[in-house]
């Protein structure tokens, strides 16, 4: 898990502080309501969800719970409270194999160490303090996507501008929220995208799919128009997506398992250029890959 702090300053020398976390991968089966074993996965899962067996073997016997120690997550959350940071951004891979109990455990930790500790926190407006999007491990199986397990536990972090109301994970995206700064004429727009989709065993690649970026363009334009009517002159635009803008290469086996297609790479490049996006938050790549989105420099 990586934890970075980004401060966006405006012309009035006021700032908003954002904490970025990714690839939390909490694995604490001792807290699960339903005991998990390889046998239970093979017995209870549909054939289309059998990738969960491969993932279970990896996390239980290879990666292990200490690779992504929960203390890193909880200490990071407590630091947000201690230093009075404004907003937490989580860019996916909250879980390992998209078990309902995994999502429940991470949400419990988020509540206990962060959300419940915020002074005067209105729990009906969690989106004011946190934004979470799914990664490929949070859309690990077709059934977890159909049941929208991510949305069940983290949908309330996405904000009040939603593309659609649906009981399917991908129907929640794109989603937009607006974070107000101390300066009334400067706001931060957070655009949440989903690249997590069920894939074949060992594959961790992602895609935007369908009309997600076209829909994102429409709601981003609507949000900007709304803010202009409210007298907001400066808008910092931030994109959250799990997979980095790296094209899947076939030169090596490991490089072929990550990133996105050339088509998706061009789509997000064009989107960021067309909409003058300021920052893009993603995951941390497990292998040495370099990718970039070229952003135009704003004129003063």
Residue ranges of the domains in the chain? 2-281
Residue 28 has pLDDT above 70, yes or no: yes
DSSP states along 200-254: STT-------TTHHHHHHHHHHHHHHHHHHTT--EEEEEEE-SS-S-B--SSSTT
Rounded to two decimals, the pTM is 0.87
Percent of the chain with pLDDT over 70: 81
The mean pLDDT of 218-228, rounded to a whole number, is 91
How far from chain centre, in Å, is Cα 252?
Answer: 27
Q: In the prediction, which pLDDT does 119 show?
A: 81
Least confident of 6-15, 110-119, 154-163, 249-258: 6-15
212-229 vs 262-274: helix axis angle to the nearest 10? 10
What CATH number matches the domain at 2-281, 1.10.3210, 3.30.450, 3.60.21, 2.20.28? 3.60.21
Residue 7 has pLDDT above 80, yes or no: no
Which phi and psi (to 5°) does residue 130 adopt?
A: -150, 140
């Amino acid at each position: 898990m990586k934890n970075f702090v980004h401060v966006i300053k405006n012309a009035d020398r006021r700032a908003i502080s954002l904490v970025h976390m990714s690839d939390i991968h909490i694995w604490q089966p001792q807290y699960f309501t339903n005991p998990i074993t390889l046998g239970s996965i093979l017995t209870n899962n549909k054939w289309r969800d059998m990738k969960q067996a491969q993932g279970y073997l990896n996390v239980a016997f290879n990666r292990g719970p200490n690779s992504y120690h929960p203390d890193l997550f909880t200490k990071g959350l407590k630091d947000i409270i201690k230093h009075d940071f404004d907003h937490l951004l989580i860019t996916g891979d909250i879980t390992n194999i998209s078990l309902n109990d995994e999502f429940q455990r991470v949400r419990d930790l988020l509540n206990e160490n962060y959300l419940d500790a915020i002074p005067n926190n209105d729990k009906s407006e969690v989106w004011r303090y946190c934004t979470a999007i799914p990664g490929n491990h949070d859309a690990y199986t077709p059934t977890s996507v159909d049941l929208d397990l991510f949305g069940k536990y983290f949908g309330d972090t996405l904000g009040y501008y939603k593309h659609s109301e649906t009981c399917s994970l991908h129907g929640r995206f794109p989603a937009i929220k607006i974070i107000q700064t101390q300066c009334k004429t400067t706001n931060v727009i957070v655009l949440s995208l989903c690249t997590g989709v069920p894939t074949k065993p060992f594959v961790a690649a992602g895609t935007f799919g369908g009309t997600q970026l076209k829909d994102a363009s429409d709601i981003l334009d609507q949000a900007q128009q709304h803010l202009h009517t409210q007298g907001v002159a400066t808008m910092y635009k931030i994109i959250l997506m799990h997979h980095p803008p790296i094209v899947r290469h076939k030169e090596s086996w490991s490089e072929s398992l990550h990133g996105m297609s050339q088509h998706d790479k061009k789509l997000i490049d064009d989107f960021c250029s067309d909409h003058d996006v300021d920052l893009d938050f993603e995951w941390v790549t497990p292998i040495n890959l370099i990718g970039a989105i070229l952003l135009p420099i704003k004129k003063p």
